[in-house]
Structure 1
């Protein structure tokens, strides 16, 4: 039985990734930042095949813990960087854990001979840190794919900046290590939506869905979405998990980073769909998914299906 280590495997996206591997006969090791807080991972115990599921405490900034966690794993998924929009200390809450955590992770993986495949859950911010707004010089209708020029700005949200830099760290690592004994690839989802497996209240993705459903604006960023009826590119959490599993179990895709996206709707239409009403406008395709369709054979479900749950 092959063993996979999933950093952040009890989070919103990570839980669905954990399910994919359990359903496909893997021994699954999932990290949690605090083993004493069972509410963060006990929902995983409702999945099938939990006799092959193990929970371990891990701080990604602690190299010794990282070494122990990835030891004997054939595949490692890194889905453990923080996704926070409301912050008080960007350096402590986002930049250090995201960037330093990625650097530590790559250093440790390089020293772990059992690992044959690594997949990082990156972000659309790897291409555009202004998301969901367009990159500077582009309009709301301009499209993006994996060949598009990447854009970042110091005025973008710190979360997006941190994810952009972390992706650069991964690209540089691949360039600096041309003879690795393992493959490393990434997926970069747009806004991930769908039903959470857990009852946790700290998920930014489910929190944002709640805000849009009820037209609540706790800060200037969310208010901007409503004021300008910003188009939102969305992907289903199930599809992200499926793409991650296929990427992790398919070889000869070393160094690739896949945009994961379905359709784009204005925020006003997202609000309608979250309230079980039909959107007033037709969807657009802004972030393209052709490469994922070709290499991973993933079928991206319509946003109406994702939000009607």
Structure 2
């Protein structure tokens, strides 16, 4: 039985990833920042084949803990970087754990002979830190794919900047280490929506769906979504988990980064669909997904089905 370590495996996306690997016969090790807080991961114990699930305490900035976590894994999925919109100190809350954590992670993996494959959960911000707004010099109807030049602005949200720099760190590492004994593949999902596997209320993705459904704006950043009726590209959390499983188990994908996206709707239409009403405008395809469809064999659910899953 192969073993996968999933950093962030009890979160909104991570729980679905954990489920995918368990149902495909893997032994799964999931990280917890504080193992005493069972409410953070107890929902995983209800999954099928949870007798093959192990919870291990991990602070990704602690290299000794990181070495212990990955030491006997065949595959490691890293989705443990912080995702938050309200930030007091960007350096300590976002930049250090995301960027330094990525540097530590790559160094530790390179010293771990059992690991054959690493999948890093990047973000659409690795391609455009302005998301959900257009990249600089572009308009909202312009399509975007992996062939476009990645865009970063110092005026973008600190979370997006941190994810962009972390992705560049990975790219630089691959270039400067041409003879690695393991493959690194990244995925970059757009706005990840859908139904959570847990009852936790601290997921940013689940919280964002709640805010949009009820037209709530706890900060100026979210208020800007409504003021501009921004066009939001969305992907189903289940599809993200499946794509990550495929990226982890298909060989020959070293150095690639896949955009994961379904359709794009205005925020006002997203709110309507979250309330069981039809959208007023047709869906657009802004962020392209053909590379993931072609190389991962991944299909993507419609946004209407995705939002219906959350609402129900």
Q: Same fold (TM over 0.5)?
A: yes
Instruction: Give the C-alpha shift of residue 188 in structure 1.
Output: 0.1
Q: How does 1:1-309 map to 2 (within 5 A)?
A: 1-309=1-309
State the SS of the aligned residue for 2:66.
Answer: helix
Q: Equivalents in 2 of 1:151, 1:184: separation in Å?
A: 22
State the SS of the aligned residue for 2:80.
Answer: coil
Higher mean C-alpha deviation, range 245-254 or range 198-207 = 198-207
Instruction: Give the C-alpha shift of residue 278 in structure 1.
Output: 1.0
Q: What is the root-mean-square deviation in Å for CA atoms of aligned residues? A: 0.5
Structure 1 unaligned blocks of 5 or more: none
Q: Equivalents in 1 of 2:7, 2:85: separation in Å?
A: 21
Instruction: Give the C-alpha shift of residue 62 in structure 1.
Output: 0.3
Once the two structures are superposed, what CA deviation does each residue of 1:231-270 show, in whole Å capped at 9, x if it has no partner? 0000000000000000000000100000000000000000
State the SS of the aligned residue for 1:131.
Answer: coil
Alignment coverage as a number of residue pairs: 309
State the SS of the aligned residue for 2:149.
Answer: coil
Q: Equivalents in 1 of 2:188, 2:51: separation in Å?
A: 31
Instruction: Give the C-alpha shift of residue 30 in structure 1.
Output: 0.2
Instruction: Give the C-alpha shift of residue 19 in structure 1.
Output: 0.2
Instruction: Give the C-alpha shift of residue 98 in structure 1.
Output: 0.3
Q: Equivalents in 2 of 1:136, 1:179: separation in Å?
A: 36
Instruction: Give the C-alpha shift of residue 202 in structure 1.
Output: 1.0
Structure 2 unaligned blocks of 5 or more: none
Instruction: Give the C-alpha shift of residue 155 in structure 1.
Output: 0.5
Q: What is the TM-score normalised by the length of structure 2?
A: 0.99
Instruction: Give the C-alpha shift of residue 7 in structure 1.
Output: 0.2
Q: Equivalents in 2 of 1:138, 1:12: separation in Å?
A: 31
Q: Equivalents in 2 of 1:136, 1:75: separation in Å?
A: 36
Instruction: Give the C-alpha shift of residue 87 in structure 1.
Output: 1.2
Q: Equivalents in 1 of 2:59, 2:6: separation in Å?
A: 13
Instruction: Give the C-alpha shift of residue 118 in structure 1.
Output: 0.3
Q: What is the TM-score normalised by the length of structure 1?
A: 0.99
Q: Equivalents in 2 of 1:217, 1:105: separation in Å?
A: 35
Q: Equivalents in 2 of 1:276, 1:195: separation in Å?
A: 15
State the SS of the aligned residue for 1:308.
Answer: helix
Q: Equivalents in 2 of 1:141, 1:177: separation in Å?
A: 38
State the SS of the aligned residue for 1:298.
Answer: coil
Q: Equivalents in 2 of 1:299, 1:119: separation in Å?
A: 19
Superposed structure 1 runs of 4+ greater than 3 Å apart: none
Q: Equivalents in 2 of 1:71, 1:50: separation in Å?
A: 21
State the SS of the aligned residue for 1:205.
Answer: helix
State the SS of the aligned residue for 2:244.
Answer: helix
State the SS of the aligned residue for 1:120.
Answer: strand
